[in-house]
Structure 1
């Protein structure tokens, strides 16, 4: 090494800062407060478990409160939910009357409800007439079947004589006489239920009229109750939930119609009585997932067995299974696609929980409610199932931020313009305020 190189190296060594002395890393002693698995002497896993536990208890308490309110106000909740489902179907009809026929909103809503009531009344009259005409023959068939069973019990391998059968009938009559008070209370309970159903029907029609007439205004009023930064997301999430509800309802109507026609045609070919009532029953019960198909199928098969025997009943059972399998595995997935985005297990659990909470109405509303909530939550978490709705003209709920513009118009119709300026024609900005208005 040359002299010059040694001098340069010496200068670099003199300018280098002195190295810090090495110290040993202090490691926490297990079992002390400095252990990373402990926080103030408490295991971290226990703290996390406790945090999850009290949060789950709060959620469970909130759900229990919601269930209690639903059960307490079951008539009101059922009326509102039925009105929403029907409003989804009638809104296109009312909208067509407003756009094409230039009807006022109140008149369009009233005519839509009258048309629906006429359709339902016609179906009920036809079904009632069919029941009256075929019930006598079916009752005779039932009596013949009962007599055949009694004869088989008397002459069959069990050897039950006629006197023992009469004793059983006498015991049944005695039990009915002994429990007459319970039967009377049951009749009174049925009367009370009928009054509750009538009240709910009137409330449903009332809600349906105003949903069709002022549904958008009602929704915008709810949106404006939220904090201003969250209004836009709540509005868009609600529009997508309404779209999901409408898609589900229309698809279920088409699927129920196909089920009713398929099973009704099969019953007519076999010569089974009460074809129209069976088809209407299948149509109505098709709105209840899983349970409805089983109940309506059992009724169709039972009528076939009673009227024409076991062989016809088995053929009717095959027709019911074939129609329901085609509907469940081909038609319904093709129509709905991923609109609901619900696993079959979620549907079964939802129907079971709805049945336990509100009976038949709970089973009816479980799937649409869960599907709508699922769509809303997916949008709020950044997964938009309907991105085309962002700029779709004429969508439900109005254009983006329409709630803000209606808010400004409502305020200005009651308050004079500031500083004498005519602001009635100015649009609202994204926050619901007038553009170009600075601080005073």
Structure 2
């Protein structure tokens, strides 16, 4: 018998088998199966989210908006205004601001597009002249043939375009339904957030309930900081870029400003996409020099945002590396499109704080045994 076989009974079968595998391989295998299980769990959760997105998306948006509006509700309540009335005033005021902004932007689009069409026609004419007389050297017959091909394609796909219009109407109906559900949820999250959070955490065993409530409270504070800072950064970005567009006389400054403001809620990706539209409009109406100057304005504003605004406004409450932000946005967009990109970073910020939260001792745990309020801490 060999020495290995003699040692086998002494070590035990499992210990002997484990001793034959290199420690690095064992560690890699342990990490691999755990990561596979975590990945599978996240994949299943993503599929469930997509399957019931008509419900989960309004819930997520209502939580984000409640994080933004909760301080105002608390401020009104500290001035002895009943909470129900404070919630009503806050929600109505927020809806009025959103409705006024949308009405103004739509009106600007209606007024601006006809005026911009003449500039685009001039740019197309100049492009045609450049294609004929410039280095490309296309003849008029080639350009005319290209135009005819485009017209023929539109005629052949007329039914598809009509179907797309019907689908657009369906989307509008779904958006209206989702907006009503979001408003309904927002009212209850602002008014009764404490009891809702208490009810949700009761599904967790009592031994872990205190730590979960504490982690949730810390995560919600981070979410509040993130939402407030994001709104302020988006507003400053939009104002700065709007000033640059107005100086350069780019058409439809206000609609582009609104688009850039909304795009800023998706970090990095949203600002680049919204800014690209502004560059294209400047290129089509004012020429390549103005478009290049718009690019300079966008780069300067984004640099100020990255190096000054975000570190100053978010501070240490939201610690997310740019690489993590880009990856999580890409995953969110792959799973749920624009909505996924919008919700990805807030979810990451919440989870990052909640998971990293640690209990601060038995005395704190006893105090936190009461339901956690979703409102920010009140001043004495």
Match of 1:10 in 2: none
Alpha carbons of 1:170 and 1:53: their partners in 2 closer, same or farther (altered >3 Å)? same
Match of 1:33 in 2: 8
CA-to-partner distance for each residue in 1:252-302, whole Å, 9 max, x for gaps?
111111101111111122222222112211111111011111112112222
CA distance in 2, matches of 1:122, 1:31: 85
Matched-pair contact (CA < 8 Å) for 1:220–1:403:
yes
- Is 1:259 aligned to residue 237 of structure 2? yes
**Pair member with larger Rg:** 1
**In the TM superposition, what is the alpha-carbon distance from 1:163 to its structure 2 partner?**
2.4
CA distance in 2, matches of 1:31, 1:186: 76
Q: Which stretch of the first structure deviates more once superposed, 211-220 or 125-134?
A: 125-134
**In the TM superposition, what is the alpha-carbon distance from 1:211 to its structure 2 partner?**
0.4
- Is 1:402 aligned to residue 377 of structure 2? no
| Higher RCO (C-alpha 8 Å, min separation 6) | 2
Q: Secondary structure, in 3 states, of the residue corresponding to 1:284?
A: helix
Match of 1:271 in 2: 249
More helix, by proportion: 2
Q: Secondary structure, in 3 states, of the residue corresponding to 2:124?
A: helix
Aligned length: 364
- Is 1:163 aligned to residue 141 of structure 2? yes
- Is 1:60 aligned to residue 28 of structure 2? no
Q: Secondary structure, in 3 states, of the residue corresponding to 2:8?
A: coil
In the TM superposition, 1:25-424 aligns within 5 A as 29=4, 33=8, 39=14, 42=17, 43-45=20-22, 52-103=31-82, 105-380=83-358, 400-403=368-371
Q: With structure 2 as the length reference, what TM-score do the two structures score?
A: 0.88
In the TM superposition, 1:17-28 aligns within 5 A as none
CA-to-partner distance for each residue in 1:208-248, whole Å, 9 max, x for gaps?
01101111110011122221111111111110010000000
Matched-pair contact (CA < 8 Å) for 1:282–1:297:
yes
Please give the root-mean-square deviation of Cα atoms over the aligned residues, in Å: 2.6
CA distance in 1, matches of 2:209, 2:309: 38
Alpha carbons of 1:35 and 1:343: their partners in 2 closer, same or farther (altered >3 Å)? farther
CA-to-partner distance for each residue in 1:309-349, whole Å, 9 max, x for gaps?
22222222111111110111112112212222222111111
Alpha carbons of 1:193 and 1:131: their partners in 2 closer, same or farther (altered >3 Å)? closer
**In the TM superposition, what is the alpha-carbon distance from 1:57 to its structure 2 partner?**
3.7
Matched-pair contact (CA < 8 Å) for 1:240–1:375:
yes
Q: Secondary structure, in 3 states, of the residue corresponding to 2:251?
A: coil
Q: Secondary structure, in 3 states, of the residue corresponding to 2:283?
A: helix
Question: Structure 1 unaligned runs (5+)?
Answer: 1-26, 392-398, 405-440
Alpha carbons of 1:317 and 1:56: their partners in 2 closer, same or farther (altered >3 Å)? closer
Q: Which stretch of the first structure deviates more once superposed, 27-36 or 343-352?
A: 27-36
Q: With structure 1 as the length reference, what TM-score do the two structures score?
A: 0.76
